[in-house]
Amino acid sequence: AVRMGWMPFYPQFDRNSLDVAAEAKAAGATTREEVTERTVAQLKDGSLNFTVDDPDAPESWPRVWLIWRGNAIQSSAKGHEFFLRHYLGTHDNIDADEHARDSVRTITFREPAPRGKMDLVVDLNFRMDSSALYSDIVLPAAFWYEKNDLNTTDLHSFIHPLGQAVPPVWESKTDWEIFKALAHKVSEMAPDTFPEPVTDIVTLPLRHDTPDEISQPEPLDWRAGECEAIPGKTMPHFHLVERDYSKIYQRFISLGPLIREDGISGNGVHIPIAPFYDELLKNPLGGSPDPRHMRCVEWDGQRYPSLEDALDAANTLLYLAPESNGEVAWVAYNEEQKHTGVQLTDLAEDNRGVRINFGDITRQVRRNLSSPCWSGIVNDGRAYAAWTLNVERLVPWRTLTGRQQFYIDHPWYIDFGENLPTYKPKLNPVKTGDIVRSPVDDQCLVLNYITPHGKWNIHSTYKDNHRMLTLSRGMDPIWINDKDAEKIGLNDNDWVEVYNDNGVVVTRAAVSARVQPGTGLYYHAVERTIYVPKSQVRGKRRAGGHNSLTRTRINPVQLAGGYGQFTYGFNYWGPIGILTRDTYCVVRKLSELEW
């Protein structure tokens, strides 16, 4: 998938991409086309390789992991125990053998797999969750009401601000200020390593909402000699990027001119913004950050819209977004009108004079404006409903046919039996590798393991607050059907061990007739910071959280690309890695509670 351009993979090559570009220039390549041609030739003859060909080689993984906002080591880590073993090199509760040895064909399989890949883990997160627990450095991030920010999605009808009521306490800083400080320090240190700007060669996958969608009507592998290696068609795009590390700080605090030339886009809608960028350049230089007014900065004799403060960044975003600038929305609808041939600009006509800034949304609740980047129409107080733009205005769906599709004729989907939605029976946990070495007898249950969104604690900052804990027995129980519990003499609130080859959980049982028989529900997100007893089945090692029983499973058809809607889009289309609903676990009464 990577070598055919369907998926990104970083690091890219088995040599530093800066060196690859420098070597090409030293060999006489001067243009992007010449550098690309030389790089493709090296990939074909094997003198240069993609890192995905040998992912466990020392040069194939990063050494520094900077975690921002998310709980990457626990709630995002499908296969938490494997992250502990291979990323961090710390203790784990895995009791599984390697399964890939006899099935890997096109990549190098290394045994044993490396442990402790990361040299440094930095967490920028005020939640003090499991990721912070395992990090080397936890940066002091500002809390709610200590920062100005935007928090919204297309599923929200309103633009939600975070308003700074008080400055960050003690040494803490806002996310924006922390990244700005990092950029400043890198720029300060850069001349020692990079006294001059350097050229980087960057691979990009075939992308959604571009002509790349029709680049591969059938999956042919250039390495197997089935087709020619053509960048942007049968393999990734190759781009040259000039990196001036000494200017990272200046670029962080300013909105560069490329956005003026290229415009902005969202979900297939391209919006030219040159006039709006020029308007931003009319704002004054300097001054203090302001929730209602924007500024400019100047460096190297050039003037740029300022992003120096979070308020500057938020207001710039609001000014250029069709959801908060009525004229940008009209321009966007006009572009989509040309694109689709159906009338759309009337949806923005009444709001062309609307300009929403950060001061507006902190003073008064403001709704999003209708935007062609999303499929709902919210004019005149209408509630957001997906696909109304497609149904009522006949805007084609973003599929190969322009219609909603049930049948998929991609060869991979046909080969895997996924070309039509069909019923599939439950999987055998021995065949899937969940329960191979784990002990199973007549004193335990084998259940389908599900981790739904938390009932009372969805993304709650204060999950371990005493009042929050009283809502759910002071901990996170596993919910089990009453008839299932009866089979092993399990009563409500009994302590249980829940385990498989991937890891182990120790918790209480919540017995309920509302739970489907054969299913165990363990609501996410369980942290390793409170109420985690030791496991008896794993030699009295500390048990884990909800992702200790899962592992990363990738649906291979989601790797397909270059084919209509099945073309990669960042945070939009690609393998999700959360196919955990076919996970199975063993549940038995805990023989001894030990903290």
- The CA-based angle 148-152-155, given to 5 degrees, is 170
Q: What is the pLDDT of residue 459?
A: 58
DSSP string of 148-159, one letter each residue: -EEE--TT-SB-
- Answer yes or no: is 334 within a domain: no
Domain boundary among 244, 259, 294: 244
pLDDT per residue as tens digits for the range 388-403? 999 999 999 999 999 9
Across 314-341, average pLDDT: 97
pLDDT per residue as tens digits for the range 205-232? 999 999 999 999 999 999 999 999 999 9
Q: What percent of the chain has pLDDT over 90?
A: 82
Q: How far is CA 518 from CA 34, 108, 479, 511, in A?
A: 60, 39, 11, 13
- Answer yes or no: is 80 within a domain: yes
The pLDDT-based confidence of 576 (bands split at 50, 70, 90) is: confident
Domain of residue 529, residue span? 444-589
- Answer yes or no: is 94 within a domain: yes
How many Å apart are CA 574 and CA 219, to the nearest integer? 16
Cα-Cα-Cα-Cα dihedral sign, residues 168, 170, 175, 178: positive
Q: What is the pLDDT of residue 530?
A: 85
Which of the pair, 296 or 476, is modelled with greater confidence?
A: 296
Domain boundary among 228, 244, 260: 244
CATH of the domain at 477: 2.40.40.20
- Answer yes or no: is 96 within a domain: yes
Task: Assign 3-class secondary structure to 257-326.
Answer: CHHHHHCEEECCEEECCHHHHHHHCCCCECCCCCCCCCCEEEECCEEEEECCCHHHHHHHHHHHCCCCEH
Query: What count of Cα atoms within 13 Å lies in the side-chain half-sphere of residue 220?
Result: 13
- Answer yes or no: is 300 within a domain: no
- Answer yes or no: is 332 within a domain: no
Supply φ then ψ for residue 459, to 5 degrees.
Answer: 55, 30
How many Å apart are CA 265 and CA 209, to the nearest integer? 10
Across 474-497, average pLDDT: 96
Mean pLDDT across the chain:
94
243 pLDDT above the threshold of 70: yes
458 pLDDT above the threshold of 60: no
Query: What count of Cα atoms within 13 Å lies in the side-chain half-sphere of residue 218?
Result: 4
Domain boundary among 197, 228, 244: 244
Q: What is the pLDDT of residue 315?
A: 98
Please count the structural domains in the chain: 2
DSSP single-letter state for residue 145 = T
The pLDDT-based confidence of 457 (bands split at 50, 70, 90) is: low
Across 508-536, average pLDDT: 94
27 pLDDT above the threshold of 80: yes
CATH of the domain at 140: 3.40.50.12770
Torsional class of 300: left (φ above 0), alpha (ψ -120 to 50), beta (otherwise): left
Grouping H, G, I as helix, E, B as strand and the rest as coil, residue 455 is coil
Closest CA to 134 of 150, 148, 118, 146: 118
The pLDDT-based confidence of 460 (bands split at 50, 70, 90) is: low
How many Å apart are CA 248 and CA 75, to the nearest integer? 32
Burial class (CB in 10 A: 0-12, 13-18, 19+), 307: buried
Q: How far is CA 351 from CA 294, 362, 422, in A?
A: 22, 20, 45
- Answer yes or no: is 467 within a domain: yes
Residue 586: in which H helix or E strand, if any?
strand 584-589
531 pLDDT above the threshold of 90: no
- Answer yes or no: is 50 within a domain: yes
Supply φ then ψ for residue 478, to 5 degrees.
Answer: -95, 130
Q: Which two tokens stand for residue 446?
A: 């084998």
519 pLDDT above the threshold of 80: yes
How many Å apart are CA 284 and CA 300, to the nearest integer? 17
